[in-house]
Amino acid sequence: MSYVEVPGAKVPIRMWTDPASVEDVALRQLQNVATLPWIKGLAVMPDVHYGKGATVGSVIAMQDAVCPAAVGVDIGCGMSAVKTSLTANDLPGDLSRLRSKIEEAIPVGRGMHDSAVEPGRFHGMATAGWDEFWGRFDGVAEAVKFRQGRATLQMGTLGGGNHFVEVCVDTSDSVWLMLHSGSRNIGKELAEYHIGVAQKLPHNQGLVDRDLAVFVADTPQMAAYRNDLFWAQEYAKHNRTIMMALLKDVIRKEFKKAKPTFEPEISAHHNYVAEERYDGMDLLVTRKGAIRAGSGEYGIIPGSMGTGSYIVKGLGNEKAFNSASHGAGRRMSRNAAKRRFSTKDLEEQTQGVECRKDSGVVDEIPGAYKPIEQVIEQQRDLVEVVAKLKQVVCVKG
């Protein structure tokens, strides 16, 4: 489908979904965002749903301003995927050992490594700039500097919630590795600190929603936020790179005879800010639950833990600020999912997938998410499908 335009206070709201299908609280959030004095455009992806401050699945383009709550607290959260030389025939009938080995290599939930994972231990991984990256931590907000030790040990860890590590098979029987994670606790700490700073600034006192507080250009608060934001986005990218290296190590050891090789990694943030130019204006584009889908750029759009995922290539649609959805999108809250579904439902909906099937992940059940095929169909003018994947192993926090 193409987009539907809904009137907004300052800019029209372009929606790649039926406005009637969007929950009322999310629509109110979008209308609130469209009142911001600095806004130059608002695009809504088909996986849109209610979020803290700004809706998940929204792309907000502003001039000389950025809203930290519209980035979200998991700064730099995103996806990575790698196609391997393995095929479905190389996989054992019982995948429980493989899942256990992945869980041993990559700490999940609140877990962390016993010692810092150095990139130099991985064959072929670039180490240039690693020390400089950590050196820049000295310049982040004083309020979170005491977290450096934890941030070091959480580098290369999964976290919880909707984060996952998967082994997938595509429609041609090729095996893929895929993972979803972000900037871990350090990104959350930085985000919450800066949201608190923004909410106290005088220019934000008259906003319709205090969670939409912004930093404006040429102020020390904006400079400080940009510094910490871009550092946390880099942390998230490094985190996924380290996890993928750990995952590849597991695959090499478990499939020694097959001597697996790996194609170049596809990686994409979906909670982040980018400096981009549209209609002759330099804008700060915030994608909260959306990926960049510039012409020819690869992206990843996952479904839920029992459905499929898609590797896509962007079509460069500037009406959507070169963006696409970041996944299927929730159709009910975590609490609603826990009330609605049981572990038996989870077992049925994840049949054929080696994964947790206990009460701790019922809130991630496929039934809590929108149908991924429908979400893909609604953005045919934003991306083209390159590959469709189906997970056979899913590791959750």
The residues carrying an active-site annotation are 326
Q: The tokens of 84 are what?
A: 């391997």
Q: The tokens of 303 are what?
A: 């479904």
Q: Which residue has the tokens 């959805």?
A: 325
Name residues whose C-beta falls within 8 Å of residue 38's C-beta, 6 or more positions apart in sequence: 62, 63, 64, 65, 214, 216
What is the C-alpha separation between 115 and 149, in angstroms, rounded?
10
Name residues whose C-beta falls within 8 Å of residue 218's C-beta, 6 or more positions apart in sequence: 64
Residues paired with 180 in a beta bridge: 79, 164
Query: Identity (one letter) of the amino acid at 106?
Result: I
Helix (H, G, I), strand (E, B) or coil at 10: coil
Q: What one-character DSSP code corresponds to residue 50? A: -
Name residues whose C-beta falls within 8 Å of residue 389's C-beta, 6 or more positions apart in sequence: 81, 168, 169, 170, 176, 178, 308, 309, 310, 311
Neighbours of 55 (CB within 10 A): 28
Instruction: Compute the radius of gyration of the chain from its Cα atoms.
Output: 20
Neighbours of 220 (CB within 10 A): 8
Q: Which residue has the tokens 């049925």?
A: 348
Q: Exposed (0-12), middle (13-18) or buried (19+): which is 166, by Cβ within 10 Å?
A: buried
What is the C-alpha separation between 237 and 234, in angstroms, rounded?
5
